[in-house]
Structure 1
Amino acid sequence: MTTAELTFRAATEADIPAVVELVESAYRGDASRAGWTTEADLLEGQRTDPEGVAAVVRHADGRLLLAEIAGETVACCQLEHRGDHVYFGMFAVRPKLQGGGFGKVVMAEAERTARAEWGAAEMRMTVIRQRADLIAWYERRGYRRTGRMTPFPYGDERFGIPQRADLEFELLVKTLD
């Protein structure tokens, strides 16, 4: 599989099970260790669930963007228009495809979509601050650290079961040209 084979479309209700499986495989459990985006050492339990994915699919000011190869979902990301910016989240690439340029291509399409669909001048995301490797990857793509932190939702197992007591999210921002 190559990045040249990628096609993009908005997710529908029928895609929810495949998206849940993709996101879980990229971030949680032993399957996630095949890639480099795993959070398995920081969090156990689920990363998302059908209800959470359905809320993104149904959001009037957003889109769950799917990247496919021959009809198979291999990556996804959430785009949510929030006034002067677009929030980028739920980003996942199949673990065995990570490191092959798929993430870069999906992110470029997400940024293009944010500009074309909503005229957004800025993309924002939150990343667990302990994920130095992931933050560095985003920085290489033009995102900057803001130092603005928000607490991890301890006690809400919809977001996972923390394996340490100091988790928090940092806001990353990129100006879209």
Structure 2
Amino acid sequence: MDTAAAPLTFRDATAADVDALVVLIESAYRGDSSRTGWTTEADILDGQRTDPEGVLEVVESPGSRLLVVERDGALVACCQLEHRGESAYFGMFAVRPGLQGGGLGRAVLAEAERTARESWGVTEMQMTVISVREDLIAWYERRGYRRTGRTSAFPYGDERFGIPLRDDLRFELLVKPLG
């Protein structure tokens, strides 16, 4: 599919989107389907990436938005934005694996930054990335994010976030000024 074929539409997710969003997020990060794209975590985590309850919580949480990205009426990507004072948090980012590598993720990230700046007047975007995901961190660095060196523990033992296949997982905070 040519990523320039049709314009992207962005809208806030509703409860009716939850099941489709879970399928998209799981396909981008877990199992063999995720290996079609380059953002897979299948070599470092097994089990689930999210569940319907977790997605619904983001959809319904005050100060949070889950953006649905569609092309020709089909769900192609999503991301979470959460208002945190002067900053916004970017998470739950997923692009359909077969569409990765063609500029779609870059377009979604740019729209998320614009939306956070315009909706909440924030001056910084923050995210956490599993620190061993060097390829993904490098992708964000090319888009203006910088590593802070500040890390937080991976929730070992909480299978809602996956089953770790290695014992050195941590989250690292990445930040970008939104001027």
Query: How does the TM-score come out when normalised to structure 2?
Result: 0.97
Q: What secondary structure does 2:67 align onto? A: strand
The residue number in structure 2 matching 1:14 is 16
Measured in 2, the distance between the counterparts of 1:57 and 1:171 equals: 23
Q: Which runs of 5+ in 1 are unaligned?
A: none
Which of the residues 129, 132, 156 maps onto 1:130?
132
Measured in 2, the distance between the counterparts of 1:61 and 1:95 equals: 29
Matches within 5 A, 1:1-177: 1-3=2-4, 4-177=6-179
Q: Deviations over 1:113-149 (max 9, x none)?
A: 0000000100000000000000000000000000001
* Conserved 8 A contact 2:128-2:174: yes
Measured in 2, the distance between the counterparts of 1:123 and 1:136 equals: 16
Q: Which amino acid aligns with 1:7?
A: T
Q: Which amino acid aligns with 1:90?
A: M
Q: Which runs of 5+ in 2 are unaligned?
A: none
* Conserved 8 A contact 2:147-2:173: yes
Using the aligned pairs only, state the percent identity.
71
Measured in 2, the distance between the counterparts of 1:156 and 1:62 equals: 23
Q: CA deviation at 1:75?
A: 0.2
* Conserved 8 A contact 2:3-2:99: no
Measured in 1, the distance between the counterparts of 2:58 and 2:76 equals: 18
Q: CA deviation at 1:2?
A: 2.1
Measured in 2, the distance between the counterparts of 1:144 and 1:131 equals: 14
Measured in 1, the distance between the counterparts of 2:132 and 2:33 equals: 21
Q: Which amino acid aligns with 1:45?
A: G
Query: How does the TM-score come out when normalised to structure 1?
Result: 0.99
Measured in 1, the distance between the counterparts of 2:83 and 2:53 equals: 20
Q: Which amino acid aligns with 2:105?
A: G
Q: Which amino acid aligns with 1:2?
A: T
Q: Deviations over 1:78-118 (max 9, x none)?
A: 00001110000000000000001000000000000000000
Q: Which amino acid aligns with 1:124?
A: Q
* Conserved 8 A contact 2:126-2:176: yes
Q: What secondary structure does 1:21 align onto? A: helix
Measured in 2, the distance between the counterparts of 1:157 and 1:150 equals: 17
Measured in 1, the distance between the counterparts of 2:7 and 2:48 equals: 30
Q: CA deviation at 1:71?
A: 1.2
